Amino acid sequence: MAALEREPGEPVLARFELAEAPFDVAALRTRLLRDEAGAYASFEGWVRDHNEGRPVLGLRYEAYAALAAAEGQRIVEEAVVRFGACGVHCVHRTGELAIGELAVWVGASAAHRDAAFAACRFVIDEVKARVPIWKHERYADGARQWLHPQPAPAAREPAPEEPR
């Protein structure tokens, strides 16, 4: 994919990261503020206390780091191009996480809200479907289980080429 630029020398932010420690969402949001952006949308995924009716005590995310970083980067770059976003950034945690902790964050800025929302939704759906990150849940009954999130059916439908 060609370098992502708006004006000569002005790169568009398209970034994917894995993080072992909690991160500052406010600082990440600030990086997406651009003069040409009229909208910002974000998604936060947290560790919940249940899954399929079973009480969850916590979990661990593990990733094939090099492949996850490369595929995640491709996804955010695809979102910038597909939706004409001013910037897209995604951070996914790895390691041990407690109930209520932030596990994944996506932020997108664009000239208009539809493009920001669409870019944000596209990134989280594609990360869940394509990036090699696995979840190891610990349940209240002592059991443990490895999971790989499955995409929602709508996630695989082609997105509109030009958001309003």
**In a domain? residue 156:** no
**In a domain? residue 129:** yes
pLDDT tens-digit series, residues 98-125: 999 999 999 999 999 999 999 999 999 9
**In a domain? residue 32:** yes
pLDDT value at position 4? 64
pLDDT value at position 83? 98
pLDDT value at position 10? 63
- For the chain, what's the residue count? 164
Those residues whose C-beta lies under 8 Å from the C-beta of residue 121, and which sit 6 or more positions away, are: 43
Q: Specify whether the CB–CB gap between 1 and 19 falls below 8 A.
A: no
pLDDT tens-digit series, residues 63-81: 999 999 999 999 999 999 9
Residues 77 and 87: their CA atoms lie apart, in Å, by 9
**In a domain? residue 80:** yes
**In a domain? residue 4:** no
**In a domain? residue 67:** yes
**In a domain? residue 94:** yes
**Structural domain range at position 36:** 14-147
Domain count, the chain: 1
Please report, for the domain that includes residue 80, its CATH number. 3.90.1170.40
**In a domain? residue 159:** no
> Is 63 in a helix, a strand, or coil?
strand
Taking 70 as the pLDDT cut, the residues of the chain under it are 1-10, 149-164
Q: Take residue 80 and report the two structure tokens written for it.
A: 């910038």
